[in-house]
Amino acid sequence: MAGYDDRDGKIWMDGKLVDWRDANVHVLSHALHYASSVFEGERCYNGKVFLSRKHSERLLNSGKLLDMEIPYSVDEIEAAKRAVLDANDMSDAYVRVVAWRGVGEDMGVSARRNPVRMAVATWEWGSYYGDAKYKGAKLDVAKWKRPSPETIPTAAKAAGLYMICTMSKHAAEEKGCSDAMFFDYRGYVAEATGANIFFVKDGEVHTPIPDAILNGLTRQTVITMLKERGITVHERHIMPEELDSFEQCWLTGSAAEVTPVGQIGDWNFEVGSLTREISDAYEKLVRT
């Protein structure tokens, strides 16, 4: 497949559809220099974007957390997604909405006089982890830590927060792993580079409190699914030494969906019945 800059199709950009190859920004855009950018990754199933409005609402909230007022309403963002899906004739696709500070009168840390821009692109994207979705992903342990919420706006889905994710995923891939798991600044289990994490022990589920990580929409959906099945869910701080006692593990995310994990560093997990059940149930839910 061609690179992401050289494809046929349309991208919605600042209120109108443009040819894919013409969807460009200036090299002096503020976001390129200072990471003033927020985004959403979403999946469209059978013509319907799962939790679409919640994603749009979170995008606007992320902008506010970065002191960056996005000049579109939820309804306008929803219409933009539908326009680009229709223009590219896609019913099963990945949808990327991104808003950023563009080029303007300011070229320094401050950028109040620069316009906030937005674009929506969509493309076909299969399983985020390839066959790991069925066999169980292998994760490295990242050397970086998820920072304190006093350091960064952890509730924002902001581009700059993914810097250590890219470095950690590259290091993991060099070791033959699909991804990496972070601990946070206190030493608690946090998340993977782009997905939340769950563990199973004695029929109950344990997952980190999102007090220093993004409270993912897929995470919230899966917790609801588990509780509806009468399964106890413990949202709590998880210490590294507890990993030996867990039997199953999975990741959740809009891109990752529900992906079983077979190994994290030296810790091993079975791809068990509850993991399979939740993965299958999630697949059915998003396609209803």
As annotated, the active-site residues are 157
Q: Annotate 147-177 with b (16+ C-beta within 10 A) or e (fewer).
A: eeeeeebbbbbbbbbbebbeebbebbeeeeb
Q: How far is CA 1 from CA 84, 95, 124, 166, in A?
A: 20, 18, 11, 22
Q: How far is CA 268 from CA 87, 139, 256, 260, in A?
A: 45, 10, 20, 12
Q: What is the largest CA-CA distance in the chain?
A: 59
Q: Which helix (H) or strand (E) holds 184?
A: strand 179-184
Q: Which helix (H) or strand (E) holds 190?
A: strand 189-192
Q: Kindly give the residue spans of alpha helices, DSSP state H, lying in 47-97.
A: 52-65, 74-87
